[in-house]
Structure 1
Amino acid sequence: MPHLQFEINKNIDNKTKKNFAAKIRDSFSEVMQTGTDHIAISIREYDKYNLSIGRANPDEELCLMNLDVREGRTLEQRRVLALRFMSIVNKEFKIANRNQYITFTEHKGEDFHLIEKYLASWKNGEDPLA
């Protein structure tokens, strides 16, 4: 059950957030070869100067992404996902690619829990809730 967290230093309207979440969910499912029902997404909005990236102008808009995922994906999958997410953030939130930063944190499947069960280790093409 990935938890995909997006922290931005601007306010976004609800329609944009809804479209953004759908694109993120679909991209994750496609790249990471899994279903969508277990994907959790957080969008956190902060005031302008509550986020910082050393290389970014402090007056510009930023997006920090923390992606908690099950272990087992390749570096290539994670890189493809990172670039897709950056593109989606750029298009939907109008945040420059240079002002985005992604951290992946990998966990065992058993670290992710839903009411009906915990998840197993990731397998290519699986539906973790089946």
Structure 2
Amino acid sequence: MPHLKFEINKKVSDDIKKEFILKIEDAFSEVMDTDKGHIAISINEVGKYDISIGRAVDGDDICLMSLDIRHGRTIEQRRELALRFMAIVNELFKVDNRNQYLTYTKHDGEDFHLIERYLPSWTLNEDFLA
């Protein structure tokens, strides 16, 4: 059950957020070869100077992404997803690619819990509730 967290230092309309969530879910599902029903997404809007990335120019828009995922994905999958997410952030949130930063934290499946059960570690063509 990935938890995909996006922190941006600007306000974004609800319509843009809805479109963003759909695109993020589609990209994650496709690249990481999993269903969408267990994907959790957080968008946290903060003040202009509440977050920083060293290479940004003073006053720039910034997006920090923190992705909690299960073990098992390749570096190629993780890199492809990072680039797709950065393109979506650039397109919809209008944050320059240079002002985006993404980190992954990998967990065992048993660290992710739904009401029905905890998740197994990721496997190809999985049914996460089986």
TM-score if structure 1 supplies the norm length?
0.98
Deviation of 1:59 (Å):
0.7
Q: What is the identity percentage for the equivalent residue pairs of Structure 1 and Structure 2?
A: 64
Deviation of 1:129 (Å):
2.2
Could you tell me which amino acid in structure 1 is paired with residue 60 of structure 2?
Answer: E
Paired residue total: 130
Contact conserved, 1:9 with 1:45, CA < 8 A, in 2? yes
Say if 2:47 is the partner of 1:47: yes
Deviation of 1:126 (Å):
1.3
More off after superposition, 51-60 vs 4-13: 51-60
TM-score if structure 2 supplies the norm length?
0.98
Could you tell me which amino acid in structure 2 is paired with residue 3 of structure 1?
Answer: H
Name the residue aligned to 1:66: 66
Could you tell me which amino acid in structure 2 is paired with residue 52 of structure 1?
Answer: S
Contact conserved, 1:4 with 1:40, CA < 8 A, in 2? yes
Name the residue aligned to 1:117: 117
Name the residue aligned to 1:19: 19
> Which structure 1 segments of 5+ residues have no match?
none
Contact conserved, 1:52 with 1:58, CA < 8 A, in 2? no
For the aligned residue pairs, the C-alpha RMSD in angstroms reads: 0.6
